[in-house]
Amino acid sequence: MRSLILTAMARIFFAIMLAGSVWVLLRGHNEPGGGFIGGLVGAAGFATLALAAGVETARRALVLHPVVLMGAGLAIAFVSGVPGIVTDASFLTHQWGSLAGVKLGTTIVFDLGVYMVVVGGVLSFMFRLYEEDAA
């Protein structure tokens, strides 16, 4: 039997936690935080939704299968290191540029890949645990 209060508040908590995880992700390439911590917060949001409304609801909210998310994240993190090789530096030497006065770099691409790997990995584990517990 599910808690009525948790079920009612889970979607609000989910939205807040997901927004917070994106904030930590975007903040992290210049200050502490980034892909790993943001991914943990994002995965906690999905885990809260799964606990309150069921694993299938959380899977639908995730859109991609967690293993596909991990693979895509790993590919994105790998691709972020390629510009370093192209510019005669070493792999994962990040490049920086500016667009309309905003400083951009390949580090945010790497952090996005790490974020996706962490969310996919944690949710793959958590969904399996929740499914076994329900059976």
Chain-centre distance for alpha carbon 50: 16
Note the pLDDT tens digit of each residue in 57-104.
999 999 999 999 999 999 999 999 999 888 878 888 888 888 888 788
| 0.85 surpassed by pTM | yes
Under the banding of pLDDT at 50, 70 and 90, the label for residue 135 is: low
Of all residues in the chain, the percent with pLDDT exceeding 70 is 95
Q: Are 96 and 132 in contact (CB under 8 A)?
A: no
Q: Measure the CA–CA gap between 44 and 105, rounded to whole angstroms.
A: 28
